[in-house]
């Protein structure tokens, strides 16, 4: 297994440790684990492309690892009453639509590439999670950081809807397969 794929697996393996730290109230540890895992997301793709180590495993597991990491945090935030369930439902609906379209296209031998707006959505989600976790570590500046986190998270929701609509429109030929 090459280095980028090991980094992707490391991100998945980090999730239970992140969840445990969060549930136990060790927010600084949860923040550190999340940031370390998010950094592997940036590293694995860059390393794979630069060294010619792009694999089918990486193409599938890298975005899945991102989703497992981010959506685990969002589920915890719902339980902690930081975000609302409808927010995660919007995000998951977009992901199910995109995954369904990719599955149909793949069954016909076509690969649907991710767009830049989807990558921006993921970055905004990760930044919002980091800000929420950072706020949980604070006492004095907590309301201010929570407000900034909310703005970034709402921006990620807008980008979720936009990127989903863009993806459907760009790949609408899938519906005639």
Contacts of 156 (CB under 8 A, 6+ apart): 121, 124, 125, 128
Question: What ranges do the domains of the chain cover?
Answer: 3-176
CB atoms within 10 A of CB 157: 20
Per-chain mean pLDDT for the chain: 93
Contacts of 163 (CB under 8 A, 6+ apart): 94, 115, 117, 118, 120, 121
pLDDT recorded at residue 89: 98
pLDDT recorded at residue 165: 96
- pLDDT for 79-138, tens place per residue? 999 999 999 999 999 999 999 998 898 888 887 777 899 989 999 999 999 999 999 999
Helices 3-23 & 56-79 angle (0-180, nearest 10): 10
Selection from 93, 94, 34 nearest residue 65 by Cα: 34
Contacts of 76 (CB under 8 A, 6+ apart): 19, 22, 23
- pLDDT for 64-79, tens place per residue? 999 999 999 999 999 9
Helices 142-170 & 85-107 angle (0-180, nearest 10): 30
Q: Cβ distance 62 to 82 under 8 Å?
A: no
Phi-psi region of 25 (alpha: psi -120 to 50; beta: other; left: phi over 0): left
Selection from 73, 77, 72, 101 nearest residue 163 by Cα: 101
Residue 84 DSSP SS3: coil
Domain 3-176, classified CATH 2.60.120, yes or no: no
* pTM given for the model: 0.93
């Amino acid at each position: 297994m090459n280095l980028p794929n090991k980094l992707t697996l490391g991100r998945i393996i980090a999730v239970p440790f992140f969840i445990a730290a969060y549930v136990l109230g060790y927010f600084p540890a949860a923040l550190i684990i999340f940031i370390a895992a998010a950094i592997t997301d940036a590293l694995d793709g860059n390393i794979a492309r630069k060294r010619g180590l792009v694999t089918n495993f990486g193409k599938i597991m890298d975005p899945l690892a991102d989703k497992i990491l981010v959506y685990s945090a969002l589920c915890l935030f719902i339980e902690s009453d930081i975000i609302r369930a409808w927010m995660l439902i919007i995000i998951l609906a977009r992901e199910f639509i995109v995954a369904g379209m990719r599955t149909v296209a793949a069954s016909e031998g076509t690969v649907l590439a991710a767009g830049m707006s989807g990558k921006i959505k993921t970055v905004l989600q990760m930044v919002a999670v980091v800000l929420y976790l950072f706020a949980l570590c604070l006492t004095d500046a907590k309301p201010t950081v929570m407000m900034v986190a909310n703005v970034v998270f709402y921006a990620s929701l807008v980008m979720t809807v936009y990127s989903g609509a863009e993806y459907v429109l760009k790949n609408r030929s899938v519906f005639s397969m």
